[in-house]
Amino acid sequence: MQSKKTVIVDYGMGNMFSVLRACANAGLDAVLTADRKEVEAADAVILPGVGAFGAAMENINRLDLAKPLKDFCASGRPLLGVCLGFQLLMTESEEFGMNRGLDVIKGVVRKFPVPNNEGAKVPQIGWNAIKQCRSWEGTVLEGLVDGEYMYFVHSFYVALDSTEAACSNTSYAGIEYTSSISRGNVFACQFHPEKSAWNGLKIYTNFKKRVTGE
């Protein structure tokens, strides 16, 4: 039997190697690619990314990846969005003027207020708690404890139009924001599970189970 193939979309934004290593740790057969055909043919897709929303969408459009990614989300095959990869699933971002996103999930990407009444520095760089806002059963967060710590690096956060898809909330700079979502086959998180030690690796292990149907 041929093993299931996971594609990590390498569209030139940030260090994808840590995602690749987390996949290897979870036993997921993954490759880095920017080729739309490979995305279309994949059994599962991981959309990572670090950096600016506008530049990321520019790269995605230039590589002709927007439609394949949207189609993939609609296909029922598992997709994991991480950090900027989570934000890109939204309708738009207010980073340096308005930028259109993939519009898979209705929502806006906003900047943390600076200064803020908590004296919190922006970007948020560090560990923070993810608080359950609905059951994690059947999502890739299954098995984690409510309030678990994950590693975050970001200046912008996701504000969903409707919080139906939200799995967890996190508080920073006086804002309580959605830190992960799950809707059908699409899961995405603002934090970096590949940098969140053994608890983050559980997310990759759970994702692998979805990919292989274990």
Q: Which residues are catalytic?
A: 83, 192, 194
Running DSSP on this structure, what letter comes out for residue 164? G
Restricting to residues 121-140, name those near another protein by CB under 8 A. 121-123, 125-128
Indicate whether 33 belongs to the interface with another protein (CB under 8 A).
Answer: no
CA dist., res. 61 & res. 88, Å (int) = 12
9 DSSP assignment = E
Separation CA 204–CA 141 (nearest Å): 9
Q: What mask, x for binding another protein by CB under 8 A, covers residues 83 to 122?
A: -------------------------------xx--x-xxx
Contact by Cβ (8 Å): 77, 44: yes
Whichever of 74 and 125 has its CB closer to another protein, that residue is 125
Give the count of beta carbons closer than 10 Å to the beta carbon of residue 138. Answer: 10
Cβ atoms 43, 79 nearer than 8 A: no
Amino acid at 1: M
Quick check: helix, strand or coil at residue 23?
Answer: helix
Report the residue from 32, 50, 63, 159 that binds another protein according to the rule CB under 8 A. Answer: 50
- Shortest distance (Å) from residue 42 CB to another protein: 23
**Contacts with another protein, 149-168, as mask; x by CB under 8 A:** x-x-x---------------
Q: Which is nearer to another protein, 72 or 191 (CB)?
A: 191
| Cis amide linkage into residue 115, ω under 30° from 0 | yes
Intra-chain end-to-end CA distance of the chain, in Å: 14
Q: Closest CB to another protein among 186 and 196? A: 196
Give min distance, CB of 213 to another protein, in A: 25
Please identify, among the stretches 49-57, 74-82, 100-108, 161-169, the one whose residues bind another protein according to the rule CB under 8 A: 49-57
The residue type found at 194 is E
Residues at the contact surface with another protein, assessed by CB under 8 A? 13-15, 17-18, 21-22, 24-25, 50-52, 114-115, 118, 120-123, 125-128, 145, 147-149, 151, 153, 172, 194-198, 200-201
